[in-house]
Structure 1
Amino acid sequence: MSHRYATFIKAINLSIDYVVLNVSMILAYLIVDKSYIIWINNKNYLPIVLVFNLIWLLSANITRFYEQVLTKDSIHTYRGVFKTYLLFLSLICFTVLIIIGTKAYYITRQYLFYSLALFAILLGLWKLIFLAIRKSDRALLTDFRKAVIIGAGRIGTDLYNFINYNPERGYKIVGFFDDNTPIANVSLYLGHTDECIQYVKSHNIDEIFCTLPNSQSDKIEQLMMAADQNLIRFKLVPEFYYTHRPTFVQNFGHIPVISIRPEPLENMLNRFFKRLFDMAFSLFIILFVFSWLFPIMAILIKLSSPGPVFFVQKRSGRDNLAFNCYKFRSMQVNTDSDNKQATRGDARITKIGAFMRRTNLDELPQFVNVLLGNMTVVGPRPHMLKHTEEYSKLIDKFMVRHFLKPGITGWAQVNGLRGETKTTADMLQRVEADVWYLENWSFLLDLKIIFLTFWGTVKGDKNAF
């Protein structure tokens, strides 16, 4: 499948799914409602429409429903439909029946049943139609463009191998042009660079990829101008790049600047919305959970062992600045807390402490850290200062995680990378997950991580001890 169609088809899928969802709600309204008020004028009905739409977006994001819509076969497509619909159904029931309530908006259980049932049926039928259309038009979507590569060195060979192993990008490499006959890919050698434009014109080649080094800038400029004059797309591959990872290119005027990783939270608007959510969420937890749970936990902690209710420890924060991290004390007071990690069966952990650690209740005071601004709800977990110093010498990318504020939960934690790190390899996995989060942050990803954290707490985590 051509990579050029992926975003378009994904947008079409998402849009029609929303049409199906809202049509289902309208039909259910017409079937159940006896007030004869036109649905669009019913102010009690419209908030529920918004809730349904937002929850479908969240469910689809959690299950990655709209990824690879062009390449997933029918079994994987319907498996995705089933998983996403079940999650959607669960979140709707939880949100509408438990949090919002049905009386406030005069929404009956009968309406919920009809709307959800109609949505399931219509969604299943639409996906069947989509698969049929995709199968019949697969040849149209496979819009391969013929291309040549100027430069048969390391960069040109890497580019050829990538395109060869990723046909969904929509390119077919015809061959190479280079002033020196390449040792590798000799069968694909088409001639010297001066012969390229003529060959491209006579063989209806669509695009040219130029991988020549900067030392040949004059020749690159000549080829670029010739391609423009002959209506040929010319793409320049920079001489310097990281072979092991994607890069992020910004333009400073006419100067391209390559960043070794994207950082969505460097955008001030993204950072503002994340901070706004942090404050709202932490205030909600402190007012409606921490306020009544704190006296209970304080009594239980005091009864379990002598010492303070809170455990305060210096941790590494954003830009590696130390801050006081607050937790409910889950261990007996000891002199090893700043040097030794908790282990399975650790004798220092009290009985109530073991329960708090399994259910993550010991982390609850960190919402105060979030309000103070030295932590966030979702981000890399903060480490002891000693561990930061030790692992920064052992793992190359360890300090990258400190570009972000530390979080109460994170991508590493919901993927099972929590608890004791027995080896450097264990810490490396956690760091890679934290760096992935830094590069791929989105608000919906934060919501997904919060949901998975809650779900993990309910079902239990073998690494929580």
Structure 2
Amino acid sequence: MNHRYLTFIKAINLTFDYISLNVAMVLAYYLEGKEYVFWMNNVNYLPIVLVFNFTWLLSANLTGLYEQVLNKDSIKTYRNVIRTYFFFISIICFIVIVIGTKQYFITRGYLAYSAVLFGVLLVVWKLVFLTIRKSDRTRLYDLRNVVIIGSGRVGNDLQQYFRKNSGLGYNLVGFFDDNPQGIEDKNMYLGSTGDSINYVLNNKIDEIFCALPVSEKSKIEQLMSDADRNLIRFRFVPEYYDYGIKPVLIQSFGNIPVISVRPEPLENMLNRFIKRLFDIVFSILVITFLFSWLFPILAIIIKSQSKGPVFFTQLRSGRDNKPFMCYKFRSMKVNADSDKRQATRDDDRITKIGAFMRRTSIDELPQFFNVIIGNMSVVGPRPHMISHTEQYAELIDSFMIRHFLKPGITGWAQVKGLRGETKTTDAMLHRVEADVWYLENWSFLLDMKIIFLTVWNSIRGEENAF
């Protein structure tokens, strides 16, 4: 819905949630602490504050807590708050189990106090918010009366869009056109294009949507000029959507508007730097604390179960479709079809240890060296064999879009269950759509979400992991 204060209200919700969390933590600190040292002077307390705050942000992002804050009724709001709260508590407990409590100011009492206090403060704050929202909701909505100039296909498509998306807050009053034959509902016809400005001024109309074709250039320019002179918001609806373009970014080259086909957050150098820095740090941690001791164990088992090398290397399609050598633990017997044939369920080429590694995704661990080298990322579209890239590029028009990004060890398609053998072109299409969605919607928090879900799915087990 198009609300005047939507972004502001999201920020207010997030701010007061954080205030509730941190007040609860400070109160729990004094309730549990044996020595009443001022909390800001306790060097052991700061890491806990950072972990708790980051975990709440992650939990809220995963559950979509701050989405549609004005649309959800009270039951849905509290249901989402409770789900986020328990998700937050679960992650905190998991972190405490992993890192321990001795070196930090964490006790069972502290966790209990902070959790209960936060829960109470959170419930009270949401009750206050819902009360305020109920009394002032109509003032928060950005309801607008609009007219459309032009009753051609573009104007009618816009009318249908307003009808199907009434929550956007646009109330379509009617059409203006010099040739009104295209208007289905004749009661919606308000007059010729020349009558539009006077009508808008006299009938409390907030915006004009101009859907005239570009061939009517002189009329459009005159309407724009009249709207500006009379302080009327004027929006021009171009016809380029015929080409399936989703406009999200318009740049100006002088007076020439250039529309990007899709958003690519990772074309921003700062975003790319953040992702690369995380890739390097995360990969070093995995290689140091997991791969270093797991490698000799797996190497012995792999060699004992079948002849051949410990590592499996294969040319795969990378960013900009440049091939690179991808590393894996070998999970199959050495065979001549490895560069052409996908693994299938109950594949007789897979060894016993290979089945376990593939089910838990441990066979992908050597790819963290690919990440360090720079030809892969921790999160991104999974790299395909060269032969499959060539095959599916012919069958799926959007297939090559995924190669705008570095391939990843895990990705959005994988955590959505779109992994394993692709028996049909339709199955590959769904995977490609997920990869393109990731390309258009990347954020650092999305990467954190995918990594968390990857670990969770590995523990839980996946149907398509074989």
Using the size of structure 1 for normalisation, the TM-score is 0.97
Deviation at 1:66, TM superposition (A): 1.1
Percent of aligned positions that are identical: 66
For residue 293 of structure 1, what is the aligned residue in structure 2? 294
1:56-95 Cα deviation digits (max 9, x unpaired): 0011111111111111222222221122112211211222
- SS of match in other structure, 2:180: coil
1:393-414 Cα deviation digits (max 9, x unpaired): 1111000000000000000000
Deviation at 1:267, TM superposition (A): 0.5
Instruction: Look up the equivalent residue of 1:455 and give its one-letter code.
Output: W
Instruction: Look up the equivalent residue of 1:182 and give its one-letter code.
Output: Q
For residue 354 of structure 1, what is the aligned residue in structure 2? 355
Q: Distance in 2 between matches of 1:245 and 1:172?
A: 26
Q: Distance in 1 between matches of 2:120 and 2:74?
A: 17
- SS of match in other structure, 2:204: coil
Q: Distance in 2 between matches of 1:342 and 1:187?
A: 62
Runs of 4+ in structure 1 deviating by more than 4 angstroms, as ranges, are 242-245
Contact 2:4–2:141, Cα closer than 8 Å, also in 1: no
Contact 1:150–1:156, Cα closer than 8 Å, also in 2: yes
Deviation at 1:97, TM superposition (A): 4.0
1:241-275 Cα deviation digits (max 9, x unpaired): 25756322222244321111100001011011100
Q: Distance in 1 between matches of 2:89 and 2:220?
A: 57
Q: Which runs of structure 2 are paired with 1:43-54 in the superposition (5 Å)?
A: 43-54=43-54
Contact 1:151–1:211, Cα closer than 8 Å, also in 2: yes
Q: Distance in 1 between matches of 2:243 and 2:270?
A: 31
Contact 1:4–1:169, Cα closer than 8 Å, also in 2: no
Contact 2:4–2:140, Cα closer than 8 Å, also in 1: no
Contact 2:379–2:451, Cα closer than 8 Å, also in 1: yes
- SS of match in other structure, 1:248: coil
Deviation at 1:286, TM superposition (A): 0.7
Q: Distance in 1 between matches of 2:82 and 2:204?
A: 46
Q: Do structure 1's residue 196 and structure 2's residue 196 form an aligned pair?
A: yes
For residue 84 of structure 2, what is the aligned residue in structure 1? 84
For residue 427 of structure 1, what is the aligned residue in structure 2? 428
Deviation at 1:102, TM superposition (A): 2.2
Moved more, 76-85 or 323-332: 76-85
Alignment CA distance shift 1:426-1:244 (3 Å) = same
Instruction: Look up the equivalent residue of 2:145 and give its one-letter code.
Output: K
Q: Distance in 1 between matches of 2:249 and 2:213?
A: 18
- SS of match in other structure, 1:256: strand
Contact 1:212–1:239, Cα closer than 8 Å, also in 2: no
Q: Do structure 1's residue 156 and structure 2's residue 152 form an aligned pair?
A: no
Q: Which runs of structure 2 are paired with 1:34-49 in the superposition (5 Å)?
A: 34-49=34-49
Moved more, 62-71 or 441-450: 62-71
Q: Structure 2 unaligned runs (5+)? A: none
For residue 332 of structure 1, what is the aligned residue in structure 2? 333
Q: Distance in 2 between matches of 1:417 and 1:296?
A: 30
Q: Distance in 2 between matches of 1:182 and 1:277?
A: 59
Q: Distance in 2 between matches of 1:189 and 1:410?
A: 51
1:137-168 Cα deviation digits (max 9, x unpaired): 22222331111111111211122221222222
Q: Distance in 1 between matches of 2:181 and 2:117?
A: 62
Moved more, 204-213 or 341-350: 204-213
Moved more, 293-302 or 238-247: 238-247
For residue 135 of structure 2, what is the aligned residue in structure 1? 136
Q: Distance in 2 between matches of 1:158 and 1:119?
A: 48
RMSD over aligned CA atoms reads 1.5
- SS of match in other structure, 1:408: strand
> How many pairs does the alignment contain?
464
Using the size of structure 2 for normalisation, the TM-score is 0.96
Q: Do structure 1's residue 106 and structure 2's residue 109 form an aligned pair?
A: no
Alignment CA distance shift 1:146-1:94 (3 Å) = same
